[in-house]
Amino acid sequence: MNEKPKIAIFKFTGCAGCQLEFLHLEEIFLDILELFDISYWVMVKRDNDETGWDISLVEGGISTPEEIEEIKQIRMKTKFLVAFGDCAIGGCIPSIRNWTPQLDAESQVYRDTSVIQSTKVFGIGEYVKVDAILKGCPAHRDTIVELLKSALLEIRPRLRQHPVCVECKFRDNACLITSKKMACMGPVTSAGCGAICPSLGRECEGCFGPMSNPNTSALASIFKDLGFNEKDIKRKFRKYAGMSPEFRKEAGH
Ligand code: SF4
Ligand code: SF4
Ligand code: SF4
């Protein structure tokens, strides 16, 4: 590319943690500004250019009719659209409400629901074509850097597909399932975090979403053998990626 690639960063239904993760690239942030034109980012800029972008990073799931229209507009003006974090990929924690009847969920939050128009929470891929996904809650800084580097080289980003267990073994951890009978989601969860939680003695909660082709029924069966009931097991699979095709069955769809 002769000119700096134009980047946009958008927020839908999420907590802004993925955008903060981008800001946390502090030691290389000035380099990023040298190499890219961040032309749209409402969280950090007053003047934003809405004419079109080479890369759009979209944080958050889609949860209202207005957001459905907005994501379609963004897609039309974007060459390479990225689902930035688990909410944009599959709804993530906000999608937990999808298991509650819509009006019940709305009335738990709003006194007057007559002015509320919400939909079930889905990832952006439910409505538009997505070119890459950056997994994690929040998306991990290493994957953001990988995406930016590959954009400069004009190649596809290389993003991990193997499970957390691989990283856990690289760190020489004793397995929490076999040694402590803990319900660890590592065998079905995508790597990328460096197995932070098992390395600190905590089970993986699945915050990087499903790995490629996970055997979820085998893990659910192991959890059952460990003594977890059906409700607990469903909660495990619902927490971060219950709407994903990979986790939907064990999440109770
Ligand atoms: S993926 Fe996690 S950190 Fe990112 S917006 Fe959603 S809830 Fe926040
Ligand atoms: S502790 Fe969890 S992540 Fe580590 S090997 Fe066991 S199941 Fe996998
Ligand atoms: S170990 Fe699991 S829950 Fe912990 S950060 Fe990694 S993917 Fe997320």
Q: What is the DSSP string of 87-116?
A: HHHH-TGGGGGGGS-HHHHHHHH-S-GGG-
Provide residues with CB under 6 Å of ligand 1: 14-15, 17-18, 59-60, 85-87, 92-93, 137-138
Whether residue 180 is predicted with pLDDT greater than 60 in this model: the reply is yes
Domain count of the chain? 2
129-149 average pLDDT score? 95
Domain boundary among 153, 174, 189: 153
Provide residues with CB under 6 Å of ligand 3: 164, 189, 193, 195-198, 204-208
Let me know whether 192 and 129 are in one domain. Answer: no
Q: Say how many Å lie between the CA of residue 119 and the centre of ligand 2.
A: 36
Query: Of all residues in the chain, what percent carry a pLDDT higher than 70?
Result: 99
Q: Is 176 in the pocket of ligand 2 (CB under 6 A)?
A: yes
Domain boundary among 93, 127, 153: 153
Let me know whether 136 and 168 are in one domain. Answer: no
Q: Which of 86, 23, 102, 58 is nearest to 238 (CA)?
A: 86
| Confidence at residue 160, expressed as pLDDT on a 0 to 100 scale | 79
CA of 11, closest atom in ligand 1: 5
Residue identifier of the C-alpha nearest atom 8 of ligand 1: 15
Q: Which domain holds residue 70?
A: 6-153
* Residue 158 belongs to a domain: no
Let me know whether 142 and 169 are in one domain. Answer: no
* Residue 192 belongs to a domain: yes
Q: Say how many Å lie between the CA of residue 14 and the centre of ligand 2.
A: 28
Whether residue 105 is predicted with pLDDT greater than 70 in this model: the reply is yes
* Residue 159 belongs to a domain: no
pLDDT in tens, 142-178: 999 999 999 999 898 888 789 999 999 999 999 999 9
Domain boundary among 120, 153, 186: 153
What rounded mean pLDDT belongs to the chain? 94
118-143 average pLDDT score? 95
Whether residue 179 is predicted with pLDDT greater than 70 in this model: the reply is yes
CA of 184, closest atom in ligand 2: 2
How many angstroms separate the first and last alpha carbons of the chain?
Answer: 45
Whether residue 253 is predicted with pLDDT greater than 80 in this model: the reply is no
Let me know whether 61 and 139 are in one domain. Answer: yes
| Confidence at residue 221, expressed as pLDDT on a 0 to 100 scale | 97
* Residue 1 belongs to a domain: no
Let me know whether 113 and 189 are in one domain. Answer: no
Q: Which of 208, 217, 203, 168 is nearest to 189 (CA)?
A: 208
Q: Say how many Å lie between the CA of residue 140 and the centre of ligand 2.
A: 19
| Confidence at residue 159, expressed as pLDDT on a 0 to 100 scale | 84
Let me know whether 140 and 171 are in one domain. Answer: no
Let me know whether 100 and 179 are in one domain. Answer: no
Let me know whether 51 and 81 are in one domain. Answer: yes
Which residues make beta-bridge pairs with 58? 10, 83
Let me know whether 126 and 175 are in one domain. Answer: no
187-200 average pLDDT score? 96
CA atoms within 13 A on the CB side of 27: 3
Residue identifier of the C-alpha nearest atom 5 of ligand 1: 14
Q: Say how many Å lie between the CA of residue 211 and the centre of ligand 1.
A: 18
- Confidence bin at 240 (pLDDT 50/70/90): very high
* Residue 53 belongs to a domain: yes
